[in-house]
Structure 1
Amino acid sequence: MKRWYLALAALVALTLAAAPAQAGAVIDRVFAKKELVVATSGAYPPLTAVSKDGELIGLDVDIVKDLAQSLGVRLTLKRMPFERLVPAAAAGEVDLAIGGIGVTPQRNAKVYFAGPYFISGQTLLATQKVGAGIKGLDSVNQPGFSVSVAKGTTSEQAVRQVMSKAKIVVADTLDQALELLLNGQVKAMVADYPYCAVAAFRNPEAKLGTLEKPFTFEPLGIALPPGDPQWDNLVTNFLFNMEGGGKLNFLKNRWLKNPAWMRLLP
């Protein structure tokens, strides 16, 4: 029996030694087709949005443009609802998905994540009149307080955890959740801080404001199909070099600190 185990171990070792190193399925596909296929929602400004000309723009879009250029391949952007981004990456329908995707254990169990490339957090968006009465999360975790969130987001998860007593209204998209607030159908909206800041800028007549600090810590990452460590390694190192070289910080300043890009929106 001992001799049999030794023979089996030797056979396994020989097989592994003889197996050539191979690139993964995703990286092979990208270079074979000379195309990088990316899923994004176009509904999460300033990270991903649709311009008045119908083009996808934003911080995340610029990141994948740079990635495609560095690989010497063309970029194909596929717009899909936010809740489809991770499933599309998990199924290998796209080479990666990006667009304000929070890195959570539940999502990470389905896909690889490169990054984080951005640290965000959930905040509350409300009119200044409503905001004046908010002293903390206890003020909004009440049966008489209504709050809107987008379906399938970490915002929805956060609200169900910390505002379970409030009336939670789930919208299909972030923009629809915002409309509920602007139309007075809810008292507040919960979303990632960048989206809320842009919403306040774009709707000055509504006199909107946010909490001084986000109430969650949320790293954002790039979702990659599972099973291709080399592709994950490539995208991770691309982000590392982008940050170290200052390009990522340059793009963050462009999209997060300078409101000039808003004139591109419809």
Structure 2
Amino acid sequence: MKIRTIAALLLSTVAVTAQAQSAPATLARVTQSATLRVCTPGDYKPFSFQHAPGDFEGLDIDLAQSLAASLNAKPQFIKTTWANLLPDFVAGKCDIAVGGISVSLERQKQAYFSAPYMINGKTPITRCENVSKYQTIAAIDQPGVRVIFNPGGSNEKFARSQLSHAKLTLHGENVTIFDEIIKGNADVFVTEAAEAIVQSKLHPELCAVNPDKPLQYAEMAYLLPSGDEVFKRYVDQWLHLTQANGEYARMSAKWLGK
């Protein structure tokens, strides 16, 4: 019995050691290469927006630059899409993914998340004269309401799961989706509160509907390699320190105006 116990312990130790050795060593790779590979869709103000190939701006872009600097590295931004975000990340194309990513259990199955850095629930945006019409999910989820959404992310999931009675329209470009509402081709778009607020400032015709009381709770965080506990702890501690020393607040004020 004792021999079996010892053998089981040895096998367990070997398995744990093998798992630790096979786990991705992101921190070491970034340090050695002096490059932090950052996947981002680049179509989601105020988090990440691409002006031209390789030219990104936004809150998450500034924060990724801060994270890279803490590692004595430079960020390399890799364009992806919401539909390809998780496949690209799991395929190892990047070390971290940013850009207004909502925490979800489906994504958690294949990747780690950093500690959340923002609560940012689902909020409708519509023409200002229609704000009173779209105060609740029930009011939006009607056959006569034209709901537009972008593919591949939590906005599509919310539209299909919560607004199935409305007339749903898939729009491939998140950047131009707001123009469709202004033109009268759609009635409402449900996205995160931060984007609804920023886009309402950019487009005076549009108003965010109760962004301080979102229709559905959501958190923003960064995608990290599954199984890499060392890198997750590093990113979480870096994020904690940026919030404690005021760096995060300064960047947030720059992009969100608060």
TM-score, normalising length: structure 2: 0.89
**What SS does the aligned partner of 1:174 have?**
coil
TM-aligned CA distance change 1:26 to 1:176, over 3 Å:
same
TM-aligned CA distance change 1:42 to 1:13, over 3 Å:
closer
2:214 corresponds to which letter in structure 1? P
TM-aligned CA distance change 1:53 to 1:9, over 3 Å:
closer
Conserved in 1, the CA contact under 8 Å of 2:182 and 2:206? no
RMSD of aligned residue pairs (Cα, Å): 2.4
Shift of 1:10: 5.2
Q: 1:47: which partner in 2?
A: 47
Conserved in 2, the CA contact under 8 Å of 1:90 and 1:224? no
Q: Whole-Å Cα distance in 2 between the matches of residues 15 and 133 of structure 1?
A: 62
Q: 1:59: which partner in 2?
A: 59
Q: Whole-Å Cα distance in 2 between the matches of residues 26 and 195 of structure 1?
A: 31
Q: Whole-Å Cα distance in 1 between the matches of residues 14 and 40 of structure 2?
A: 41
Q: Whole-Å Cα distance in 2 between the matches of residues 131 and 79 of structure 1?
A: 34
2:149 corresponds to which letter in structure 1? V
Q: How does 1:31-46 map to 2 (within 5 A)?
A: 31-46=31-46
Shift of 1:111: 0.5
Q: 1:228: which partner in 2?
A: 228
Shift of 1:93: 1.3
Q: 1:72: which partner in 2?
A: 72
Q: 1:162: which partner in 2?
A: 162
* Higher mean C-alpha displacement, 100-109 vs 120-129: 120-129
Deviation readout 1:54-92 (Å, 9 max, x if unpaired)? 721110001110011011012111122122222222222
Larger Rg: 1
Q: 1:6: which partner in 2?
A: 5
* Higher mean C-alpha displacement, 108-117 vs 130-139: 130-139
Q: Whole-Å Cα distance in 2 between the matches of residues 228 and 134 of structure 1?
A: 43
Deviation readout 1:156-199 (Å, 9 max, x if unpaired)? 22222322210111122322322321221111111111212222
Q: Whole-Å Cα distance in 2 between the matches of residues 129 and 67 of structure 1?
A: 42
TM-aligned CA distance change 1:151 to 1:7, over 3 Å:
same
* Among 194, 206, 209, the residue aligned to 2:207: 209
Aligned residues: 254
Q: Whole-Å Cα distance in 2 between the matches of residues 27 and 143 of structure 1?
A: 51
Conserved in 2, the CA contact under 8 Å of 1:124 and 1:210? yes
Shift of 1:200: 1.5
1:193 corresponds to which letter in structure 2? A
2:49 corresponds to which letter in structure 1? A
Q: Whole-Å Cα distance in 2 between the matches of residues 18 and 111 of structure 1?
A: 21
TM-aligned CA distance change 1:17 to 1:161, over 3 Å:
closer
Conserved in 2, the CA contact under 8 Å of 1:85 and 1:98? no
**What SS does the aligned partner of 2:115 have?**
strand
Unaligned 5+ residue runs, structure 2? none
TM-score, normalising length: structure 1: 0.87
1:208 corresponds to which letter in structure 2? L
TM-aligned CA distance change 1:235 to 1:18, over 3 Å:
closer
Q: Whole-Å Cα distance in 1 between the matches of residues 71 and 244 of structure 2?
A: 18
Unaligned 5+ residue runs, structure 1? 259-266
Q: Whole-Å Cα distance in 1 between the matches of residues 13 and 127 of structure 2?
A: 68
Q: Whole-Å Cα distance in 2 between the matches of residues 157 and 28 of structure 1?
A: 36
TM-aligned CA distance change 1:78 to 1:132, over 3 Å:
same
Conserved in 2, the CA contact under 8 Å of 1:24 and 1:229? no
1:138 corresponds to which letter in structure 2? A
Q: 1:129: which partner in 2?
A: 129
Q: Whole-Å Cα distance in 2 between the matches of residues 52 and 78 of structure 1?
A: 12
Match status 1:253 vs 2:253: yes
Shift of 1:136: 2.8
Shift of 1:144: 0.9
Q: 1:241: which partner in 2?
A: 241
1:5 corresponds to which letter in structure 2? R
**What SS does the aligned partner of 2:221 have?**
strand
Q: 1:173: which partner in 2?
A: 173
**What SS does the aligned partner of 2:181 have?**
helix
